[in-house]
Amino acid sequence: MAFFASKTLRAFLLRRTNHWRSPFLLPASRTILHRHLHQDGLIHPSAIVHPDAVIGQNVSIGPFCTVSGTSQIGNNCQLQTGSHIIGRTKLGHSCVLLTGAIIGANISGETNLGDNNIIGNYAVIGAKCQDLKYKDGDECFLQIGNNNDIREYCSIHRSSNSNDITVIGDNNLIMGSCHIAHDCQIGNNNIFANTTLLAGHVIVGDYAHTAGGVAVHQFCQIGSYCFIGGGSNISQDVPKYMMVSGERAELRGLNLEGLKRNDFSPVEVRKMRKAYRKIFMAKDVTKGNFEDRLSQVEQEEELSECEFVISMIKSIRDSFEQGRRGICKFGNWSSS
């Protein structure tokens, strides 16, 4: 057992040196005596690893780390100095916890990370939600996919009850000091710049990009391929493919740069721009209401043949379903 092996090794060293000296102060040739192997990996003797923890091969656990007895750590993982795995937590293969990172919590439920995730310095992942509706004993869950880079001081919370789950997909870059609250659903390949704050139950599609200092109100939805300008406050949905910004964010057009970077063809972009102008920039907004303009786009053969135009219209319509918040406003359009 890792914990008892540490005690045995420490006793041996005490007999050899008659006093305990910090491994940080010893030459490299003697520092190695203060470590021991675990299935071809290294566990520092100052680490506290519960004997019931399931640890894969070639796992490195650094000084002053703790690993709970209900945790599982995949192969080739690294726990750097002072990182902690708490409660019922599963760590996939080849994950890295940088100094001070905390994964999991001593509450009912589970935190589950996939493979190749990097958790930054002092990030807190899988903590109890900040929702007053939470009841002690509820099983709450967090599921994180593969290949995510979650940077320093981020916080990601578990769901608020047993019927929900907080989900982070694959290949996301979540920069420093971001917050993802309970019950959020995050897709794949998103980029959240520093201090992006997502309140509870926010849904984000794929390939969305936020600039720094963005705050998103609870229950809002951010469509795929969107861009949100820095310092924006989002209190309504952002439809797919669009760009918004502002203290109370407004539509600013299509996310043309994002579409280009993600290999949308010039023909597709041209059709999407044409549809956007017909919906939001009609020359005479007194003729027909907003729903009429959506229908006109759907009925125009050239535009209706483009799957992305249809997807954009569906995203807009879905935002006006019962219980939803509608979409961010555009200066020249009327919702009548």
Residues acting as catalytic residues: 182-183, 200
Is residue 330 within 8 A of residue 252, CB to CB? The reply is: no
Nearest to 190 by CA among 201, 202, 182, 200: 202
3-state secondary structure 214-281: CEECCCCEECCCCEECCCCEECCEECCCEEEECCCCEEEEECHHHHHHCCCCHHHHHHHHHHHHHHHC
Cα(147)–Cα(188) distance, integer angstroms: 10
Helix axes 290-299, 266-280, angle to 10 degrees: 150
Is residue 168 within 8 A of residue 204, CB to CB? The reply is: no
Q: What is the DSSP string of 28-84?
A: HHHHGGG-EEETTEEE-TTSEE-TT-EE-TT-EE-TT-EE-TT-EE-TT-EE-TT-E
Cα(113)–Cα(90) distance, integer angstroms: 6
Q: How are beta strands 78-79 and 60-61 bridged, if at all?
A: parallel
Is residue 50 within 8 A of residue 31, CB to CB? The reply is: no
